[in-house]
Structure 1
């Protein structure tokens, strides 16, 4: 199985399932061909070496980032070493919150980076974290994840992981090359309701599943007015320029399990 050309396999099975008519509009490009070096190793089943203390950095502490930051800080064996955001007050605020959480024993002397869109790169160079949470606007997700892995850290990325097929393959290539994990943090997979229904399905409580449908129905018009620092400053443009379900994994993730 390890020798199977996954890109061509996915391409051929997708096209045969969709039919030739759909194939004419499916956005496969030259990047769908396998141009990876032969030394690339499949990451399925890979487990990184255990670390006694996981040094963690966070990029983006506006909306989603603080939840990841506080959750990671609460886990044993973690150390928050750096926080990066465009805005100084957000970076310093959450550094202070997490420092207090450490009660003088952990998460001390957290480095903060702010004021420039490329400060996260300086953070990676200076701090050299073991893993990085990425909770920024969508266009930055893939480039940041790729650079994080290239700098020797594992990447944990908010939904969506990327905004194009080409970016997704670059992430796969980089993960295989660097032997670093890259995970999309699809929170809906792990919600209490979703796990409840998943357990019911596995226990056979509701009988045999024959068909499933999934969708992402979420009224986010209020976010369009958050233009100063909120998602309205960038997310609205995705709605205007991209026709489709921008969060397909919210619905498909739990159903796929």
Structure 2
């Protein structure tokens, strides 16, 4: 099957997170928004300001039945991701779903089975994998510059107490469950660097409870949760999630190999970071800016990024780059960049962490979705 002439895309939750993809969809030569869906007429009117005039629906099922589509973007709250992905996959549509892939092991099993049956491809929209520094590090790691990889860290520090009050679903599904449920922003880039590996077992502990919500109810999630993980190849990973502590936000990462390492800049949300690469005959270890050491490892897709997309509203351009890469794959009939199994490699460790933290940090095995089909 050759390249597709035009990819007709439907968007659910269109007035929310998917609005950040409007420019990438508009710029793509072989993709077009064919329908939008949201929960109120007001939100549909808001979505139309981003995506233009097209059929609009208050029912996801109606959009699938009444519109000729090739793919759907699912930008709804996380508890709806699997339900809506299943419906789309049953219609043999491609799915681009926000993170995480699912909120329970049973949901993830259902999603795996549906993706195996469908003619459509499943893709999970983990934008942290597409941040420029992370893609550079992935290329450097695959080129062997860091040697044999054996350790990594990822931290997602994003205080959301006020946001919880405006979006109750977050109160229930992000801070209403203990553990690292919302961990794909940290896990995703690390597994991309450790290409071909997966997390095989985890242990999770927390720092206790020090905050309450507007009704003076304690949050189920502990202020900081730390998950230690071992991969199938024996690598060690540490993941920290903190959505409650009073502090500025940060995305922190570290990668260590036998010939070098990477450290992000902790206080810069989208900072490039520093690398150390071992060189023959060197007398001391010195850091080099990633922008210098990794210049030749910038992916081509980043060179084509419009300057207007560099703003923080699109996570430094990563949202535009990610959606463009997804649309390229679907229109050129290439394998999905973040397939069902890669998506679940990022999602399942967090679900198992819920059980581990409940059991005082007990080490528990993480299932491999590839064994479910």
Normalised to the residue count of structure 2, the TM-score between the two structures is 0.48
1:250 maps onto 2:250 in alignment: no
The answer for the alignment partner of 1:91 in structure 2 is 44
Bigger fraction of residues in strand = 2
More deviation in 235-244 or 202-211? Answer: 202-211
The answer for the alignment partner of 1:166 in structure 2 is 106
Residue by residue, what CA displacement relative to the aligned partner does 1:139-167 show, whole Å, maximum 9, x if unpaired? Answer: 11001000011122111100011101111
Residue by residue, what CA displacement relative to the aligned partner does 1:22-41 show, whole Å, maximum 9, x if unpaired? Answer: xxxxxxxxxxxxxxxxxxxx
Residue by residue, what CA displacement relative to the aligned partner does 1:178-227 show, whole Å, maximum 9, x if unpaired? Answer: 2221111111111112112223333444454321233332222231232x
Unaligned runs of 5+ in 1: 1-47, 100-108, 227-231
Alpha carbons of structure 1 residues 49 and 247: separation in structure 2 relative to 1, 3 Å: farther
| Residue of 125, 139, 160 corresponding to 1:199 | 139
RMSD: 2.0
Q: Secondary structure at the match of 1:183?
A: strand
Residue by residue, what CA displacement relative to the aligned partner does 1:76-132 show, whole Å, maximum 9, x if unpaired? Answer: 111211010112233223324433xxxxxxxxx510113xxxx11111100031000
| Residue of 45, 52, 55 corresponding to 1:111 | 55
- Greater RCO structure (CA 8 Å; 6+ sep): 2
The answer for the alignment partner of 1:72 in structure 2 is 25
Question: Structure 2 CA distance, aligned partners of 1:83 and 1:212?
Answer: 40
Are the aligned partners of 2:25 and 2:31 in contact in 1 as well (CA < 8 Å)? yes
Are the aligned partners of 1:58 and 1:69 in contact in 2 as well (CA < 8 Å)? no
More deviation in 58-67 or 48-57? Answer: 48-57
Question: Structure 1 CA distance, aligned partners of 2:178 and 2:132?
Answer: 30
Question: Structure 1 CA distance, aligned partners of 2:50 and 2:191?
Answer: 37
Normalised to the residue count of structure 1, the TM-score between the two structures is 0.68
1:141 maps onto 2:85 in alignment: no
1:213 maps onto 2:166 in alignment: no
Question: Structure 1 CA distance, aligned partners of 2:11 and 2:71?
Answer: 9
Question: Structure 2 CA distance, aligned partners of 1:222 and 1:205?
Answer: 42
Alpha carbons of structure 1 residues 201 and 240: separation in structure 2 relative to 1, 3 Å: closer
Unaligned runs of 5+ in 2: 193-373
Are the aligned partners of 1:139 and 1:163 in contact in 2 as well (CA < 8 Å)? yes
Alpha carbons of structure 1 residues 182 and 49: separation in structure 2 relative to 1, 3 Å: farther
The answer for the alignment partner of 2:68 in structure 1 is 128
1:62 maps onto 2:12 in alignment: no
Question: Structure 2 CA distance, aligned partners of 1:173 and 1:239?
Answer: 26
Bigger fraction of residues in helix = 1
Are the aligned partners of 2:15 and 2:44 in contact in 1 as well (CA < 8 Å)? no
Are the aligned partners of 1:128 and 1:153 in contact in 2 as well (CA < 8 Å)? no
